[in-house]
Amino acid sequence: MGTLVTLHLPPDSPVANLPWIITIGALDDDEEWEPMVCGPYERPHALALAQAVVADEDLMAVVEPLLPLADAAAIRDEVELARSGQDIDTTATEVNGDEPLRTTPGRPPTEAEVRAGFARIAAKLSAGA
């Protein structure tokens, strides 16, 4: 059983519409391998894929938004926000039969659904959204 960590968002959060990435790493600090990052995905796809990967493995999946920042000043602003500790609300959930998930990832998307999501993300990023 693994762990899924993600941001807890209010239902109307604009962050939900950003592209999302999944970072998969070892749950045990004694394991020595570099975490891997995949995505971008639409948020429901990222949550469902991450849950499917860690459900039966001792892995941790972190699902977080990918910020499409277009210049160094915007990146610096986000770094300062992160350093300040503001706007951080995460939810860690053990993926097992004993506790209900606080996220509702749903079934893993098909390859065709993920590829369609890639196209929607690319269109958003190209439009500057």
Mean pLDDT of the chain: 84
pLDDT score of 47: 96
- DSSP secondary structure string for all residues of 31-49: -----EEEEEE-HHHHHHH
Q: Measured on CA atoms in the order 94, 39, 48, 89, is the torsion positive or negative? A: positive
- DSSP secondary structure string for all residues of 52-86: HHHTTSSEEEEEEE-----SHHHHHHHHHHHHHTT
The answer to whether residues 47 and 63 touch, using CB atoms and an 8 Å cutoff, is: yes
Residue 98 has pLDDT above 50, yes or no: no
What phi and psi values does residue 81 have, to the nearest 5 degrees?
Answer: -60, -45
pTM as predicted? 0.76
pLDDT band at 86 (very low <50, low <70, confident <90, very high): low
Residue 89 has pLDDT above 70, yes or no: no
Q: Domain range spanning residue 95?
A: 3-127
| Counted domains in the chain | 1
pLDDT digits (tens, 9 = 90+) for 63-82: 999 988 888 999 999 899 88
pLDDT score of 82: 85
